[in-house]
Amino acid sequence: MASPEDTPMKKQWLEVDGRMTPVILPQIWNHDKEEWEVTSEQNPLPTQVTGSNMEDGLPTFLRTSNSGFAILEGEIVPANSDLVSDAIKFKGTRVSIGIRYDKRTNVKINIAPYATDVNLAISSQINVVDIPNGTRGINDVKLLSNNNAIVIKNESDIDIIITRLSVTEFMASGNGGD
């Protein structure tokens, strides 16, 4: 019997700064077929949306096997403002965040570490993605806490619509996730 821990996840190779780089695709474990299935619009991730307006924050409830993904689509981030998620509990030691949005603008994505037992930021925000005059970006960072919020900063004078925000968490390796 195959298990998710013993089965390699599917990946895609992308050219980044002239080098071929493997990217793990968003996927879920199919217990019936005993294999990883890449997610798509026809095969979406199993998530429960908790709300989509600015007061409710980003969807933060994830059901996953050994890595988590949150996908956000159609969210408006007004000019010169931030969209802050509720605290998200990660199991991994690193997190990768990717974003696409509709207009060429300056956007930053930060992680704000929170204390485990209270809704209180325990350090300043850590920049994960810095996109000058672009429409997409991806990067990863080592987590300082398992409780974090995602902060999307629209630093332009125009509103943007997020066409896709994805979050992937990576489990610890023998060296603590470095």
Closest to 160 in 3D by CA, of 59, 39, 72, 95:
72
**Interval 98-119 mean pLDDT:** 82
N- to C-terminal Cα distance for the chain? 31
Residue 159 has pLDDT above 60, yes or no: yes
- Asked whether the predicted pLDDT for residue 178 surpasses 60, the reply is no
CA 51 to mean position of chain CA atoms: 17
| 54-58, 117-121, 159-163: segment of lowest average pLDDT | 54-58
Structure confidence by residue, pLDDT tens digits, 99-109: 989 999 999 99
Instruction: Answer with the residue of higher pLDDT: 99 or 118.
Output: 99
**What domains does the chain contain, in order, with CATH numbers?**
1-44 (no CATH), 62-173 (2.60.120.340)
Q: How many residues does the chain have?
A: 178
Q: Are 70 and 162 spatial neighbours (Cβ–Cβ below 8 Å)?
A: no
pLDDT for residue 48? 44
Residues linked to residue 169 through DSSP beta bridges, in sequence order = 95
Average pLDDT over residues 37-50: 66
Question: In which band, very low, low, confident or very high, does the pLDDT at 121 lie, cut at 50, 70 and 90?
Answer: low
Percent of the chain scoring above 70 in pLDDT: 75
Q: Which long-range contacts (CB under 8 A, 24 or more apart) does 115-120 make?
A: 115/145, 115/147, 116/145, 116/146, 116/147, 119/87
The answer to whether 158 touches 105, Cβ cutoff 8 Å, is: yes
Per-residue pLDDT band for 8 (boundaries 50, 70, 90) equals: confident
Strands 81-84 and 75-77 turn out to be unpaired
Question: Is pLDDT at 23 greater than 50 in this prediction?
Answer: yes
Q: CA-CA distance, 135 to 102, in Å (whole number)?
A: 6
Q: Are strands 71-72 and 88-89 parallel, antiparallel or unpaired?
A: unpaired
pTM passes above 0.85: no
pLDDT, mean of residues 39-60: 54
Extended strands (E) in the chain: 11-16, 19-24, 27-30, 35-38, 47-48, 61-62, 71-72, 75-77, 81-84, 88-89, 94-114, 126-142, 147-154, 160-170
* CA distance to 81, 105, 117, 124, per residue, from 70 (Å): 21, 23, 22, 23
